[in-house]
Structure 1
């Protein structure tokens, strides 16, 4: 685990597919294709299956138009996400970090991580159910076995982004082929399917299912993912190259998301033909649907294909969910950890609640847990969509690639619909708990979190507008004529350097030497922080103290070999107080020290040396990050 200073999103595969080379038109188009297929698996993951099954089983073909509408919404939002990555070279998490205050960014980061964990929870349950349906093993074992796909991701990372894309496309092909065969076996009536594209909501229950379909379609982590994946293509950074990338990535999104629409529509049509027309309108659970397919279609191939498609959908979503987690962590925190460790942490966060529900409440509660994962996703959606629209609308950062007014109007309308529908779904779930007697603390908790989310949503909407206006005002307020007077170049004769004997020492020393002159003396400071040093101070003579003195002497010798006047001073006990004391005693006129770059809670863990020292010394302080 380390602090990530590279500004590139997914830096290990950033610009790894070179589009600047001379290629034929079709080879160039095919080389652009790939990112949207990784994104599309989020639109057909196991979390979407329940709403599709319920819609088809209860209302036949009536709600197909809802799937089409949600697919068009997703296409617009994903194209905006791709545009952000292509034009600005920033993923959504990086753009958020550069725009919002730290506290808002931290909240957005936590929500994004919750959304990814909820997505992974749906994938774990989907794969476990698929394994159970195919092999007969218990859900407990099925959930436990899903941890093994951590190693699959490790293998895929070694072969590059194009091989990973090929793997995902293969899994998508398995899902699509399985449902194509299912439809051929079911033989639905084309005329009835066409009627389903006419907008119509029969009753309130149908409206609730429609809300569920729309709410489960647009996945928050996909907006982070797409803005990063398009940057794996190295394009010409001129107008023609950027416009070509936007055009071909839109084509990629249109094809991939239409395939996802086909899968979702196939599930709904299959449920309509097999269950609705047979009178089994209560089918909404994945396992019930699997068992009934054999009886109603009269072939054992149908349930097998259903289980295989479920496993493939869960497995493909696993890979993309991990990539999204990496993007979110690096973008918001500038923190990178090994992909397999990131995958293992994410997977365990999904497995543990799934196992607890199975062991405590029983397998029959898995359906409720799947619904709960979708509610968690719904909570986060607005906090991904709204900043995205702000960023691609900003002419200051996007230039003439900023979206036009009619696209902006459509995007804000979609955001309003999605936020309203998801808020309604979350409200419906929450009100059920509030109405139950004896849940006072749960009621209070739900109300507090509700107020928090509403406040955060308002800030997310308003802050970029205020910030943009503030920057424009500041730009206009600059005086036309500025006089700096006589600027004198400072001369530093005694420069103090605070060293921690890490890989950053060389950088601190080189920056200190750059501020000096041939007559400058350098005071190298190191604070011994062993237990003995903290207790005995300068009377300490433990191994760490001796080793630190040896290291300091080595630095001094190397500097003197370069004809640089240097001396070393060890300090003891309190790091901040000792640095301040030594700077004053040595009469240094400049202090150079390293800054760890941590913020927030990590400052409490690693200390706030720079922040404290600069308040207690009366000389300039140069902080080397």
Structure 2
């Protein structure tokens, strides 16, 4: 499997720094890219609603969710530092292809939902600052398509610097907002003590937690920490874990300050003046100037909103690249990826705003948070399983106390988000003109997600983790060479897939043909990219498979066997017969390494489909 974000992987040198401060500074950066996800426009609506309705009472919820986020992000960083795998790659190596396709699909939906919130946030900011209509503001957000490409070509440190500048703009804007608002410090401190005024406050609290912990940030952090080139000894890994935790603590506390400032601003202006119904970002902006007596208050508010949307959209696109490469092992041009992601967010926004008007933006923001809530468990639970795995973490697995704490946090977050999703679906059913459609679409889908979530929770406790085929080494083959074969004809094809089944298949082939036969090793690349682009695909899995196939050839050639290789692309049941029928082979040898479980159900077995399409004998050997 390829390196995560290969163009910047290990590009920041942390060794040979003359002072401790410079060494710490070399590790700082990834968490600031993460922190913008915790202050994106999707958070603003819940913070404003919480502050305007309940004053300072829900500040403790922000603090608690920030502590949860710090724990989960530190686990994500640990996974990347120790295993040199991001969360998507680790999932791909652990779960069956069928499960991974679903997880990838859910992660892509989460990225699109997050991008929707960022598009709307930037468009609202542009609308408020320059009085440009909202739809035109949404379309303008397409223009930042090439920003990520430009930044990443300049190196990860330049990108981190750009994001830190945007975070600083947001932070300074709210420092001045606090000066204008003059909040009551004693009530702010009281708000840090847990309390729940009523059931409506609970709903807002769930929304705050759902909006705070972002699933795409867990994928992103596990990749960004790998941009640091550090000593891979135990001491070096421990040092990297420590410095990255400090980096996360500082960055996420800055995010907490921004979220708390938005809530405090709403409490000190709207709640204080009896305006309990302010929940829309546009309303908040409109009332700031008359309530605070400063024309700069709404301007800084809009500037901070644009900065939050712009910074979040850059990191969201990076997360999308990581998810696609990790789950599918497929790379596409960053600008193509950027346009696709942006259009998925823009098209629904333009259609809905065109039909229902600009007043619907608040509901769209809430919908984006509900979609994120639905996906959150599918990122958190695998992460906890991975960092608890002794073999995967090579001795750097988390301790029992951290495991228990992590599972408690996961249970709280998933339960609260499940309630949020349940309430939303219940609301749709009550207000829908034809609820029967929802009963046959949305409800079964929600139950399907629940079953998948339970599978992910309990699967590692029941099934032992399978060794990834990409960890298989040709040098581990225990081959029983035969000098003389029992088969009179001498053109033998052997299908290989870099699993333990290859050993059995090759040994049987050697027993048939001996040292004098000619052997052709056939392997088929089955990635999504291979299915779509065929031999034109140039992804990481193709490069690795080609390398492994050549290693097989070199090892066997050194033993005196006449070996050539053939790499195919697409579905094995179609590609292998084409290779066989175009060649001059006498027999095909295959191990029982066909698909199992869900994939058998969806795709069928390779052997069953293949044997009817070839005109030579087929020897299937059991592993």
Q: Give the TM-score category using the shorter length.
A: 0.7 to 0.9
Q: 1:468 offset after TM fit, Å?
A: 2.9
Determine which of 10, 14, 27 is the counterpart of 2:9: 14
Change (3 A) 1:190 1:513: closer
Instruction: Provide the C-alpha distance between the structure 2 equivalents of 1:186 and 1:13, rounded to a whole number of angstroms.
Output: 43
Equivalent residue, structure 2, for 1:558: none
Match of 1:392 among 387, 391, 396: 387
Would you say 1:439 and 2:435 are equivalent positions?
yes
Of residues 206, 217, 222, the one that matches 1:222 is: 217
Which residue number corresponds to residue 127 of structure 1? Answer: 122
CA pair 581-271 structure 1, distance change in 2 beyond 3 A: closer
Helix, strand or coil: the match of 1:280? coil
Cα pair distance change 1:511/1:453, threshold 3 Å: closer
Distance 1:526 1:22, change over 3 A: closer
Counterpart of 2:414?
419
CA contact under 8 A between 2:482 and 2:515: conserved in structure 1? no
Structure 1 residue 456 corresponds to structure 2 residue 452: yes
> What is aligned with 2:336?
341
Question: 1:154-233 alignment to 2 at 5 Å?
Answer: 154-233=149-228
Aligned residue in 1 for 2:77: 82
CA distance in 2, matches of 1:178, 1:326: 31
**Root-mean-square deviation over aligned CA pairs:** 3.4
CA distance in 2, matches of 1:166, 1:50: 27
Task: Describe how 1:353-502 pairs up with structure 2 within 5 A.
Answer: 353-436=348-431, 437-468=433-464, 490-495=514-519
**Do structure 1's residue 71 and structure 2's residue 66 form an aligned pair?**
yes
Q: Does 1:291 align with 2:286?
A: yes
Q: Which residue does the alignment assign to 2:610?
A: 612
- 1:23 is displaced (CA, Å) by 2.9
* Structure 1 residues 112 and 278: alpha-carbon distance in aligned structure 2, compared to 1, 3 A threshold: same
TM-score (norm 1): 0.81
Question: How far apart are the structure 1 equivalents of 2:181 and 2:420?
Answer: 32
Give, in whole Å, the separation in 1 of the partners of 2:445 and 2:12: 44
* Cα distance, 1:164–1:206 mapped onto 2, change above 3 Å: same
> Does residue 36 of structure 1 match 2:31?
yes
Q: Is the 8 A contact 2:170 2:304 kept in 1?
A: yes
8 Å CA contact 1:47–1:374 kept in 2: the answer is yes
Equivalent-residue separation in structure 1 for 2:576 and 2:606 (angstroms) = 9
More deviation, 504-513/129-138: 504-513
Matches within 5 A, 1:84-163: 84-163=79-158
CA contact (8 A) 2:588 2:618 kept: yes
Count of aligned residue pairs for this structure pair? 550
Residues 361-388 of structure 1, C-alpha deviation per residue, up to 9 Å, x if partnerless? 1111111111100000000000000000
Whole-angstrom CA distance in 1 between matches of 2:394 and 2:577? 50
Once residues 497 and 86 of structure 1 are traced to their aligned partners in structure 2, the CA distance between those partners, rounded to angstroms, is: 36
Summarize deviations over 1:433-488 as a string: whole Å, max 9, x none.
212352211222122112101100011101122223889xxxxxxxxxxx999965
Question: Structure 2 vs 1, CA of residues 618 and 170 (structure 1 numbering), >3 Å: closer, same or farther?
Answer: same
Aligned residue number for residue 487 of structure 2: none
Instruction: Quickly say closer, same or farther: Cα 1:510–1:183, change in 2 above 3 A.
Output: closer
Seen in structure 2, the aligned counterparts of structure 1 residues 229 and 496 have a Cα distance that, compared at 3 Å, is closer
- 1:273-299: CA deviation from partner (whole Å, max 9, x where unpaired): 011111111110000000000110111
Q: Distance in 2 between matches of 1:523 and 1:417?
A: 56
What does residue 474 of structure 2 align with?
A: none
TM-score (norm 2): 0.82
In the alignment, is the contact (CA less than 8 A) between 1:493 and 1:517 conserved in 2?
Answer: no
CA contact (8 A) 2:553 2:564 kept: no
Taking the aligned partners of 2:119 and 2:185, their CA distance within structure 1 comes to: 35
Change (3 A) 1:589 1:419: closer
SS of equivalent to 1:21: coil
CA distance, structure 2, for counterparts of residue 447 and residue 302 of structure 1: 44
Contact kept, 8 Å, 1:179 with 1:266, in 2: the verdict is yes
C-alpha distance in 2, partners of 1:63/1:524?
Answer: 65
Indicate the residue corresponding to 2:571 in structure 1: none
Q: 3-state SS of the aligned residue for 2:2?
A: coil
Q: Distance in 1 between matches of 2:566 and 2:217?
A: 49
Deviation at 1:399, TM superposition (A): 3.2
Q: Any stretches of 5+ residues in structure 2 without a counterpart?
A: 468-477, 484-509, 524-533, 569-573, 591-597
Where does structure 1 lack aligned partners over 5 or more consecutive residues? 1-5, 472-482, 528-573, 592-598
